[in-house]
Structures are given as structure tokens and as C-alpha cells.
Amino acid sequence: MRRTTIAAGLAATLVSGAAVAVPALAASGAPGTTTTAASTATSGLTATQEQALDQFLAAHPKVATALGERLDDWKAFADANPAVVAELKKVAALPQDQRRAELAAWAKAQPAQAKALREFRQHVRAERKQRREARQDRRAERKGTATPAPSATS
């Protein structure tokens, strides 16, 4: 049950993130551009907050790129599974105490769609784990504490 709640939270975050980041990424790609009133209305951010986000993304291109890649992954999943996205939006609009039961009922009624969501989330987790391990390896190498690879002669 906890997983379904996390799934709803993740989906809501990704949908919200897309609404926030897409205008910000577009604006950060062209100096001097401003966000429109429509993009501000859909993002839920004030103009000041959007401007701060635009400045942050412009100053941190790696973050902007990573966010863009995550949004591309989500968009590909959302395009392939519009029914899942519709359900996640519906669940996100419910009071928090009703979300778990709704997701459980949906997953039971729509096992193929639930499996697609579960596989997408597993893919995201695996990528995140891989990045974390690579980051830890780089840190260990910089500190000179890299553990040697196990020898084949042991």
C-alpha cells in the first residue's frame, strides 16, 4: 500500500515538475526571454519564483539537462500510457487519506496499467541507484580510498 501512495506522489511530482520545468527550461535556453502568463498559471509559481528557477537552471546547466532528461522519460511513459496518467491525476486530486485505497482498487482493476507504472518506477529507481553508485565511486577515487577490484587469483 505504501508503494501505491509513493507512486501517486511521484506521479503528481513529475506532472507538477513538468509544468514548472518545461517553461523554465525553454526560458533558460534563450537569454532575455520571459515566461508567459499562461505558463505561470499552469506552473503554480509566482513570476518571481519562476524567474528564480530560470536563473538557477541557467546557472546550473547539468541540473537543467538532468531535469530535461527525466521529463523526457516521463513524457515518453505518459504518451505510451495515457490511462495511467489520467488515473494518477485523478488520485492526486483526492484527499490524501483516500489515495491509497483508490490506487489499490485501480491496480486491482487494471493490472496491465499498474504493471507498466511499476516497471517505469523500477526503471527510474535503477537509474537513480546507478548514478548514486557512480557518484560514490568518483568520490572514493578523488579521496584515494577506492577499494581495489577483487583479484581473480584469490
Task: Name the pLDDT band for 144 (thresholds 50, 70, 90).
Answer: confident
Q: Which residue has the higher pLDDT, 18 or 126?
A: 126
pLDDT at site 31: 42
The 3-class SS string of 38-58 reads: HHHHHHCCCHHHHHHHHHHHH
Residue 110: closest CA among 77, 95, 94, 88 = 88
Residue 105: closest CA among 32, 29, 8 = 8
Q: Where are the domains of the chain?
A: 2-142
pLDDT at site 75: 94
pLDDT one-digit tens code per residue, 78-127: 999 999 999 999 999 999 999 999 999 999 999 999 999 999 999 999 99
pLDDT one-digit tens code per residue, 23-71: 444 444 444 444 444 454 556 789 999 999 999 999 999 999 988 989 9
pLDDT at site 11: 53
pTM value is 0.58
Residue 79: closest CA among 18, 126, 137, 141 = 18
Cα–Cα distance between 28 and 84 in angstroms, integer? 31
Q: What is the mean pLDDT of the segment spanning 127-135? A: 93
